[in-house]
Structure formats: structure tokens, C-alpha cells
Structure 1
């Protein structure tokens, strides 16, 4: 479990207009049809903000809705008098269709106003949504590609919407990934076979004639004695 010293934002100018955006990390950017696309996502920034929402648009007819989901949500795992243990991944949300949304639920700390953004250390701008907790990122996308998904490059678009104290802000992030074709799927095996064929050719055209030559040289030397 991960320990966080949670509290409301306390850094200077914390009550000024906030600025935030999503930061996503693909575990594998090139996959085969039928495999999972795994993506971890964080929210970075600071300042006044509320009403967070992430709207997601994905390439149509690529993913299998029945096996695709997102792990999200903050949960209180345990606490002592001086420590609080929190973790991401409290909820599993099923993905349906080529677009879906995630609402960020707020949590109250020490009886204060419910919030989605917490400082993790006093007098810094480090916030919890920038960190892993309980071995999970704030948002973990597990998207199962269809077995018959066409090869090529595809995109996922994320739109983070929030109110920064003066107006509504919408930030876009676009992530690309590629699905291999048949040749690319088996390229490693084909490379191995090609290397094996090359070794066999070298042995046949180089090593065997060399051994034959050494043998003939030996016979010649024996006949001279």
C-alpha cells in the first residue's frame, strides 16, 4: 500500500485559476489483433478546478466492448493516527461504443470540501493524480482489440473538461497505436528461419568445402611420405 499525506491544496496561488491536462503512457504501442491495448493515464497541473470529466473517443470497430474496461476511482485502504493509505483502481468501468466518459468523484479529507485533487506533500505542487497508488495509475485502460481488427495506425482522443474558477476549459490529448499485419505478426519467426537458412548455407557452401579441402590436403601429405 502507498502512504500519502493528503490535504487540500496549500501551495501559494492555489486559489488562482487552475491549469490541468491528461498525461498518458502506452505500455505497448504496437500490438497484434486480439491483444490488449494497455494505457496508464494521469492528470497533472495545479490550481483551482472542479467538475472534472474525461471524454474518450476511440477508433470504431477496433475494440471488443465485452472485454474492454477502465480501472479508476480512489479508495481509502487503511489509516493510523499519523498515516493514510490510499489506492487507485477502486472501480471497474465497462467500455461501451466508440466514445465514453469518466467522471472524477470527489473525496473529503479531514471534513473539508469534497475534492478530486489533493496535495501529497506540504508546500509543493505534487498532486496525487500524478502518482501511482496501490500499484495502479489513476486511470488504467484495458482495451481488447478484435481478432479481426484491420492492421494500421489508430488513434484515441481524450478530452479533459473542468471549471478553473473563471471559465470552462477543455484540453485535448491524442494517442496513437498500431495493429500489426500478418507479416509483422510473424516477423520474429520469419527472421529466425532466415537466420537458420543463412547458417545452413554457410555450412554447406563454406565449411563443408573447407573440410573437404583439408581432407584432400591430408591425403596428399600422406602420399608424399
Structure 2
């Protein structure tokens, strides 16, 4: 799979995450597919670099294997690209949501699974310091047993959620919300990031990847002239 195909796969799986949100089983499945595509994009950058610098890494490429081969061959330009990429990656992941996806990628590579998903209430039109509220719903094989049960639990917890959120917004002169402005979504906790909405983080991350690909290709061209 080339980079463009992997980016398209990210866009498709993002739509599927949104379609099945907040069902933990299906969100987990499609988020896992999304993360596989993210990995393919990053590895794809180094596949292109491996080809363009002529390193001839024969095994499955990775950032680490690329750097090791560049050092072994003492290819200064390939080393420069690897070092540039490391700095660029850090720069692109300084903001919270890109860092979340990066942390999820590390978690998945280490534990071969994704962080546990939880269902939370949130405002459909969110403000920066809005709270979210976890709701517990009975699951069957990690799937929602029925949409009706979810709706019942949402209605049960809605009054408290509205009261707390609207009080917080009132203190900041932000608009209050009504019952029809609350939705349930799938969230995760990862490292120092708590209550991160999966669909939102995944959506924000696609342009980050596109930018990283574009800048990497540009840097490779500069170095092989």
C-alpha cells in the first residue's frame, strides 16, 4: 500500500468511526484499522526515502532500520534526512491531539492493542474547557446491547451533566446548552491525556500526516540533488 492509499484508508476508517460512534466494539475495530494506516504512512515515508537514497534496506522498513542502514553505509544525506525527520516529527506532535495519536501508536506497537474505550457525554458544540461525563452501559461481547439502553442511560445522567456543564459555561459567559445539544462519543485515556474523543483526535491528525509526508518528500528532494 502506498502513502496516498494509506491516507485514503485513514479517511475511510474515520468515517466508519463516526458512523458507529460510540459503540466500543466497532469504534475499536475501525480505530485499529486507522492506526494501521497511520503506521503504513510513516513506514511509507521511509520506503520512499530508502528508494531515493539507494540504501537498499531489504527487510521491512522502519525509521530505526533506515537510520541504522544510513549509518552503516555512512550516507550523510540519508543520515541528515533521518535526523531532520525526527525533529520534524517532534515538532508536529507538540499539540495535544497529534500527541495523543502518537501515544496511541506507541501503545499499540508495544501492547498489540488499543487503550480501553469509554463512552462519555459531551456537548455537540464544544468549548475549550467543557467537561465530559462517563456513562456506564451494559455491553455484550464489548458491543452495545441496544441503542435503547444507551438512550436510557443518557437520559438518566443528562440532568446532572447539563447542570455541571452549564454552570461552568455560565462562569465564563459561554452559551448554555439544551438536552438536544448533548451526544455520546467514544473516548480514551492515554499517558497524560485524559478524556480524548477518538473521532475528533483522528480527524485532526490526518492533515498532520499529510503535512509530514509533503515536507518529507520535499526534504528528500533537497538532499538528493
Fold shared per TM-score above 0.5 = no
TM-score, normalising length from structure 1? 0.24
Structure (1 or 2) with the greater strand fraction? 1
Which has the larger Rg? 1
TM-score, normalising length from structure 2? 0.24
Structure (1 or 2) with the greater helix fraction? 2
